[in-house]
Structure 1
Amino acid sequence: MKKAGRNESGKKAMSRGGGAAVACLLLLPLLVLAVLKTDFMPQQLIHVGEASIAQDGDESSVPGGVEGAIWQPRQQQLVAKSKAAHDPVVEAPTSPNVVRANRDHKIKKGFLAMNGGMDGALIKSDGDVVAAPTRSKLSCNLSSYRTNMCAMQGDVRVHGKAATVYVVSASDDNRPDNGTITIRPYPRKWETPTMQLVREVTIRWRAPPGPGAPRCTVTYDVPAVVFSTGGYGVNIFHAITDIIIPLYNTAREYDGRVRLIATNYDRKWIAKYRHALSLISIYPIIDLDADNEVRCFPSAHVGTESHKELGIDSALSGKGYTMMGFRGLIRSAYSLKREWVTPINHGSKPRLVMVLRRNSRALTNEAQVVAAAAEVGFEVVAAGPEVVRDLGKFAETVNSCDVLVGVHGAGLTNMVFLPRNGTVLQIVPWGEMKWPAWTSYGEPVAPMGLRYAEYEVTAEETTLKDVYPRNHTVFTDPVSIHKQGFNMLWETFLNGQNLTLDVHRFTGVLQHIYQSLLPSHN
């Protein structure tokens, strides 16, 4: 009986052990499936304004913690992290010598076009995208007043010279039925002549991995953003408003690990703004128009997110971005030392930088105006075009000042370099220009943490009085000139006049600003 009991107990034990073994065998495939499913889950779609924009579901990838903090990507750590995280998809590991050579190449060329020299985070490939999801996603916003933009993820292939982006096996329905859409990736779409200067990019979807889409020659493990350095990007206002702020809105979340691809590639422009671009992307910018490669990405944006002139609408961004945050990036990019304007110390003088124009809206009594500012008590920096041209050096100059003064125009954009609580004084030319001046350079001031002052010239202070009689509509009804179209406004009130300031009246405005910098006013 005892023997029989032991056998029965043994059978029960064997039965329990066998069940556990079978359960483990059954669970193993499920665990593998769960891991695979996690690795290949499509990215989350979130709504930004009226668009559905793709982004990673992991909020921890957003840098900085506090949005307004200075953003300083750690390039070496990012590259090391990238290699460690993505080595399984790299067919042939890059040797240390190649990595060093590529890094030296990148430093030598700055953030310029890349048609060959590549870093260790990508691979050459004769096949399709490595480990791409079988179903891609595409979402476009074509209803914005300022810009058209598409976001895509999955199997994304960019054929440079053809200016075509292929989204293979796209499954989203938020697009036209013919399988293609064209976008000019520049955020000024209401200005038709401007947009004609921007190369068109075609997006194609549901192309089969075979003949319908070209095979990858380069594969990346980071996203891409396609933009343009065409349009009006030649002056600093349009460079910041139309290109750099929209790139910040679109690519900041990637903490530098994003490939920027430029149409209408302008080498001089990219060299000039390399400091800001280097904190948006740690990689060289790719020249789309001259690129023979088919570059494949896990996700991409074609077009950039733009909200307003020289500003960011946090409600539209959906990511909580602000101009204070953008200015944090600018301070980091240019290594600007002063964060705040402080009250005047005993024996010291506040610094005032005066941006001076030469071809239009110039001050005919420039020397007297500069002397008046000095007499009020300012240490004056007179900055003509020859001074402003070196942007990196001029950014430091502006940051060392407490006040920036200039006639309505692109030079006022240098306010982005002022320390917090600095003052912007805009001189508004004749011609009912108060509203345009406020929209472009007055309204953006407060969101940057700055103060604003204004000096509006009278009919006695414009050289238009030497061109037109006083009974001309230029003086009696300036708004009628506005109604004739922007070109007429531009030629008459912007390109058509210089200014002779009433020094006594202007001195009163400068005195008010000076008083605001005293300790009792702070």
Structure 2
Amino acid sequence: MKRGGRNESGKKLVSGGGAAAVACLLLPLLVLAVLKSDFMPQQVVHIAETSIGEAGVEGAIWQPRQQLVAKSKAAHDPVVEAPPSSPASGDETPDKVVDANRDLKNGKGFLVTNVGMDGSLIKSDADVAAPRSKLSCNFSSYRTNMCAMQGDVRLHGKTATVYVVSASDDNRPDNGTITIRPYPRKWETPTMQLVREVTIRWRAPPGPGAPRCTVTYDVPAVVFSTGGYGVNIFHAITDIIMPLYNTAREYDGRVRLVATNYDRKWIAKYRHALSMLSIYPIIDFDADNEVRCFPSVHVGTESHKELGIDSALSGKGYTTMGFRGLLRSAYSLKREWVTPIKSGRPRLVMVLRRNSRALTNEAEVIAAATEVGFEVVAAGPEVVRDLGKFAGTVNSCDVLVGVHGAGLSNMVFLPRNGTVVQIVPWGEMKWPAWTSYGEPVAPMGLRYVEYETTAEETTLKDVYPRNHTVFTDPVSLHKQGFNMLWETFLNGQNVTLDIHRFTGVLQHIYRSVTITS
């Protein structure tokens, strides 16, 4: 309703011969009261929710990104409706709602309601009244540091700064400043040095240190990093994608992902999974000079363990199986279950390494698996590189075989009841191998077989004499630190399998995935 309409209604209150004189007295007073109270009919810009799959159903089939965009087209158009009631506590921000009268009024008193296709509202340069914001941080986890903010939260990428603006000093950190490297491997100091540091500053009330918003969103944001060791698939899933799932899944795609150490190639490689967590393009935090304002922000992501989710820790009931359900939808994987084969050859994908822990007799190993009865898919680095295609290849197989290393992480694409065979290299590597790739298997609904190599199957025998510590006391080398372990047993050896011994393992697996008459 226009302000003129309010004045017209005021005239109808006066009648009789002295109407004109009374009107002259009342109208200026009424107009003054309107201006003093900033009274205008309140309007609300509301962007409807967009869901991915069935909300609250763990492991549900998720819709492809293009369906989401089409489905939510109308949701990006502003809808004017009555304002919601104020939160009872007075210190909360209504989710997905922006008070247009307070936030979007330009200098002439008109409402600016330019809603972007990225879930943002382009606002005027006027100052915004600061709500009572909240800031809480958790530094107790062994793996990661996290902070969550609500209220008036402003992100400036080029300075890597997050401003939490509040009308009061309530809940303010003691020093007003917190720094976080948003990557969940905080016990590895060299790794964390590769991650850009984000500074969180508390500002109450807004002042020179709190820059004005240039873009405002009605959806939350999650700040993470594509730095660290995200270059291989194990770290990509363990350190980035799975923690993002823990942190961002609850928003059903309506969340902005903000990346430090922004790596365009990495994001392109894992775009299928990322598009299931957010329907919006990822923001390059490092190059961004906008001041982006959000109703809530997470800096850092929730991580529990290597290649897995602990549902007891998540607090939301998320599981590794649920994460696998997301990947099945993201990569359009057709097979859900491995069922025993009565006729034909079960498929076995062999992930092959080249620079370290490679199979020096891979041709013989492939021939042995074929002779046992498998249809073998040899997957070298050139095959694995196209993740979208390779995910489908793994999903078509019943068994995945590989020497301990990142390639085994492709087990996430196997159908349920599939079998993972980990070849453990020499050097008392059983515990590291189990922690990284053995323990995660059962929660994924898969079966696990371990083949531990002997001193006769390692190329280390061609480098060191048999009375060397490498053979007599490998654990003592472990105790000298990760660098020694890495250089000696991970980066320093290849594997020559005992074909007769390994064939016995393959025969056992073959019987478990076939029906014999």
**Deviation for aligned residue 1:174:** 6.4
CA distance in 2 between partners of 1:126 and 1:278 (Å): 30
CA distance in 2 between partners of 1:144 and 1:174 (Å): 21
In structure 1, what is the equivalent of residue 271 of structure 2?
Answer: 274
* Gap runs ≥5 in structure 1: 1-35, 40-57, 96-117
The residue identity in structure 2 corresponding to 1:427 is I
Matched, 1:259 2:256: yes
Task: Select the residue among 68, 71, 81 that pairs with 1:77.
Answer: 71
* 8 A contact 2:359–2:496 mirrored in 1: yes
The residue identity in structure 1 corresponding to 2:196 is R
Q: Secondary structure at the match of 1:247?
A: helix
**Deviation for aligned residue 1:518:** 2.1
CA distance in 2 between partners of 1:390 and 1:61 (Å): 26
**Deviation for aligned residue 1:119:** 1.7
**Deviation for aligned residue 1:334:** 0.6
In structure 1, what is the equivalent of residue 489 of structure 2?
Answer: 493
**Deviation for aligned residue 1:209:** 2.2
* 8 A contact 1:94–1:120 mirrored in 2: no
The residue identity in structure 2 corresponding to 1:456 is E
Task: Select the residue among 211, 217, 232 that pairs with 1:235.
Answer: 232
**Deviation for aligned residue 1:176:** 3.8
> Residues 480 and 426 from structure 1, CA distance in 2 versus in 1: closer, same or farther, beyond 3 angstroms?
same
Q: Secondary structure at the match of 1:249?
A: helix
| Structure with greater proportional helix content | 1
Matched, 1:150 2:156: no
In structure 1, what is the equivalent of residue 352 of structure 2?
Answer: 356
**Deviation for aligned residue 1:127:** 3.3
Task: Select the residue among 124, 133, 156 that pairs with 2:122.
Answer: 124
* Gap runs ≥5 in structure 2: 1-40, 80-96, 105-110
* 8 A contact 2:345–2:373 mirrored in 1: yes
In structure 2, what is the equivalent of residue 197 of structure 1?
Answer: 194
Q: Secondary structure at the match of 2:212?
A: coil
Q: Following superposition of structure 1 onto structure 2, how do residues 218-233 of structure 1 map, counting pairs within 5 Å?
A: 218-233=215-230
> Residues 127 and 61 from structure 1, CA distance in 2 versus in 1: closer, same or farther, beyond 3 angstroms?
farther
Q: Secondary structure at the match of 2:72?
A: helix
Q: CA RMSD in A?
A: 2.4
The residue identity in structure 2 corresponding to 1:77 is K
CA distance in 2 between partners of 1:171 and 1:342 (Å): 62
Q: Secondary structure at the match of 1:519?
A: coil
CA distance in 2 between partners of 1:287 and 1:120 (Å): 14
CA offsets, 1:481-513, max 9 Å, x none?
Answer: 100000000000000000100001001111111
Q: Secondary structure at the match of 1:352?
A: strand
CA offsets, 1:321-375, max 9 Å, x none?
Answer: 00110001001111111111111032x1100000000000000100000000001
TM-score (norm 2): 0.82
TM-score (norm 1): 0.81
* 8 A contact 2:130–2:167 mirrored in 1: no
> Residues 221 and 433 from structure 1, CA distance in 2 versus in 1: closer, same or farther, beyond 3 angstroms?
same
**Deviation for aligned residue 1:87:** 8.0
> Residues 63 and 319 from structure 1, CA distance in 2 versus in 1: closer, same or farther, beyond 3 angstroms?
farther
CA offsets, 1:163-212, max 9 Å, x none?
Answer: 10011117687664010100000000000000001000000113322323
CA distance in 2 between partners of 1:457 and 1:424 (Å): 16
In structure 2, what is the equivalent of residue 187 of structure 1?
Answer: 184
> Residues 467 and 401 from structure 1, CA distance in 2 versus in 1: closer, same or farther, beyond 3 angstroms?
same
**Deviation for aligned residue 1:416:** 0.5
CA distance in 2 between partners of 1:88 and 1:121 (Å): 15
CA distance in 2 between partners of 1:449 and 1:306 (Å): 20
Q: Secondary structure at the match of 2:153?
A: strand
In structure 1, what is the equivalent of residue 408 of structure 2?
Answer: 412
* 8 A contact 1:139–1:172 mirrored in 2: no
* 8 A contact 2:327–2:413 mirrored in 1: yes
CA distance in 2 between partners of 1:311 and 1:350 (Å): 27
* 8 A contact 2:231–2:266 mirrored in 1: yes
* 8 A contact 1:62–1:254 mirrored in 2: no
Range moving further from structure 2, 450-459 or 78-87: 78-87
Q: How many residues align?
A: 443
Range moving further from structure 2, 65-74 or 494-503: 65-74
> Residues 248 and 79 from structure 1, CA distance in 2 versus in 1: closer, same or farther, beyond 3 angstroms?
farther
> Residues 411 and 61 from structure 1, CA distance in 2 versus in 1: closer, same or farther, beyond 3 angstroms?
closer
**Deviation for aligned residue 1:63:** 4.6
* 8 A contact 2:53–2:61 mirrored in 1: no
In structure 2, what is the equivalent of residue 7 of structure 1?
Answer: none
**Deviation for aligned residue 1:69:** 1.6
* 8 A contact 1:185–1:200 mirrored in 2: yes
> Residues 173 and 87 from structure 1, CA distance in 2 versus in 1: closer, same or farther, beyond 3 angstroms?
closer
> Residues 301 and 425 from structure 1, CA distance in 2 versus in 1: closer, same or farther, beyond 3 angstroms?
same
